[in-house]
Structures are given as structure tokens and as C-alpha cells.
Amino acid sequence: MNVEFYERIWMWMAGVLIVLFLGIIVAGAALGAIQPPSHIETVDPTALDTHPEFSAPEVKTNADGSVTVSVVAAMFMFTPDPIEVPAGKPVTFRLTSGDVMHGFHVIGTNANAMAIPGYVSQFTVTFTRPGEYVIACNEYCGIMHHQMVGKLVVTQESR
Ligand code: CUA
């Protein structure tokens, strides 16, 4: 089969572009540590009031210095707020929702997950820069969605 020289060039360019675009997605996900949720744990969203962990969500320091933060997102706030965690230590967030789907994005970091009623979203991050961060809900959840913000305070590492 004879393929014209210029047609061959265009075919190769199309192939290169496909590889390039897929490569950008893979590289971006790998470098930004972006990953699909992998932690499947369910919770009864109608019984959070009596749940041992989520009835009083709080910041817990573990024996090894790492921190576990339980968070309930519900119209239109995060509990607890503010959340205070140390810099340089692994922080495991455990999120759930008391009503509809909410977002939980620590602005300026790659800490970003959905809070889904009935499920516990869990992820671990280590914050290197101390300071105050805004936590934004980035799933449209109702009339006051735009007001649903929380505060994360990352404190200086104790030496
Ligand atoms: Cu909660 Cu938008």
C-alpha cells in the first residue's frame, strides 16, 4: 500500500499528539500525587450524632506524632473549625458528610477530596509550610455553598 509522503507525516503527528496528551495526564497525576479515592469505608449518615468518631469530630495526635483529623462536612460548615495540625507530620483526614456531597480542598495544597454521605474519605498529607490555609467546599451543595469555608492552621514543628 502506498501512503503519500505528506499523509504519512500527518499520521505520525496525530500519533505523537495522542502519546503526548496521555503522557501529560499520567505525568501530571504522578507529579501532583493525584489519585482516585481508594479507601472504602461506610458510615450511616443518619446516625452521625451517635457515631463514636463523627459525633464529636476532632484532631487526634497519635503516639508516633502523626495526626488523625475527623471532619464532618454539613450545610454549610466543616466541623471542627478551625483545624490545627503540626507541620512536617503526616496528617490523615477522615471526612464524611451529614447531608449532601461536599468538597474539602485545602487551598494551595493537593489536599482535596469529596465528603460523601455514607462514606468516609480518607487521605494523608504532610504540610511543610506553617500558616493559615482556607478550606473550601468545591462541590455545589446548596444556596450557601459559596460561604462554606473553613480554616486550617498549620503550626511550626516542635523541635
Ligand atoms: Cu458544601 Cu459546597
CB 129 within 8 A of CB 111: no
Is 148 near ligand 1, meaning CB less than 6 Å away? yes
Pairing of strands 90-97, 67-74: parallel
Radius of gyration of the chain (CA): 21
Nearest alpha-carbon partner for 112 in 133, 81, 128: 133
Residue 34 is predicted with a pLDDT of 73
Round the average pLDDT of the chain to a whole number and report it: 92
What confidence tier does 151 reach under pLDDT thresholds 50, 70, 90? Answer: very high
Q: Which atom of ligand 1 is nearest to the CA of 76?
A: 1
Per-residue pLDDT, 37: 65
pLDDT in tens, 28-81: 888 877 776 667 889 999 999 999 999 999 999 999 999 999 999 999 999 999
- Number of Cβ within a 10 Å radius of residue 17: 10
Task: Report whether residue 113 contacts ligand 1, using a CB cutoff of 6 Å.
Answer: no
pLDDT (tens digit per residue) in 68-115: 999 999 999 999 999 999 999 999 999 999 999 999 999 999 899 999
Residue 110 · residue 33 · CB < 8 Å = yes
pLDDT score at 158: 64
Cα separation of 112 and 132, whole Å?
16
- CA 116 to ligand 1 center in whole angstroms: 11
Whole-number pLDDT of residue 7: 94
Tell me the percentage of the chain whose pLDDT exceeds 70: 97
- Is 90 exceeded by the pLDDT of residue 2? no
CA–CA distances in Å: residue 17 to residues 9, 10, 12, 23, 28: 12, 11, 9, 10, 16
Residue 18 φ/ψ, nearest 5 degrees = -60, -45
